[in-house]
Amino acid sequence: MASPKSNGPEAEAGPWKLVMENDGPIKSPIKVKYTKLFINGEFVDSVSGKTFETFDPRTEEVITSVSEATKEDVDLAVKAARAAFDHGPWPRMPGSERGRILNKFADLIQQHSEELALLETWDGGKPLDLVKVIDLPKSISVLQYYAGYADKIHGMTLKMNGAYQGYTLQEPIGVCGQIIPWNFPLIMLFTKIAPALACGCTLVVKPAELTPLTALYCAHLSVEAGIPPGVLNVLPGFGAIAGAAISSHMDIDKIAFTGSTQVGRLIMEGAAKSNLKDVTLELGGKSPLIIMDDFDIDKAVEIATVATFTNMGQVCIAGTRVFVQGGIYDKFVKKIRERAKKIVIGDPFKGGVQHGPQINKIQFDKILKYIQYGKIDGANLLIGGHSLGGKGFYIEPTIFIGVEDNMRISQEEIFGPVMSILKFKTIEEVIERGNKTIYGLGAGVLTKNINVANRVARSLRAGTMWINTYLIIENDAPFGGYKMSGIGREYGPYGLQNYLQVKSVITPLHESPWL
List, in sequence order, the alpha helices (H) in 360-399.
361-376
Q: Where are the alpha helices (DSSP H) in 88-207?
A: 95-111, 113-124, 128-130, 136-149, 185-199
Burial of 5 (0-12, 13-18, 19+ CB in 10 A): middle
- Sign, CA dihedral 69-182-200-277, equals negative
Annotated catalytic residue, options 282, 396, 413, 490: 282
Q: Which of 61, 96, 153 is nearest to 393 (CA)?
A: 61
In the residue annotation, 72 being an active-site residue is answered as no
Q: Please enumerate in sequence order all residues whose Cβ is within 8 A of that of 69, keeping only pairs 6 or more positions apart, or say none.
A: 37, 46, 77, 206, 235, 236, 237, 241, 242
What are the CA-CA distances from residue 119 to residues 48, 104, 136, 169, 362 (Å)?
26, 21, 12, 41, 21
Task: Let me know if 209 is a catalytic residue.
Answer: no
Cα 409 to its chain centre, rounded Å, is 21
Picking from 316, 265, 307, the residue whose alpha carbon sits closest to that of residue 440 is 316
Cα separation, 46 vs 305, whole angstroms:
43
Phi/psi-derived region of residue 501, left when phi > 0, alpha when psi is between -120 and 50, beta in every other case: beta
Rg of the chain (C-alpha set): 24
Q: Measure the CA–CA gap between 279 and 270, rounded to whole angstroms.
A: 10
Partner residues linked to 136 by β-bridges? none
Q: Residue 102, Cβ neighbours under 10 Å: how many?
A: 27
**CA-based nearest residue to 84, from 95, 96, 93:** 93
Identified catalytic residue from 176, 316, 396, 413? 316
User: Which residues are known catalytic residues?
Assistant: 282, 316
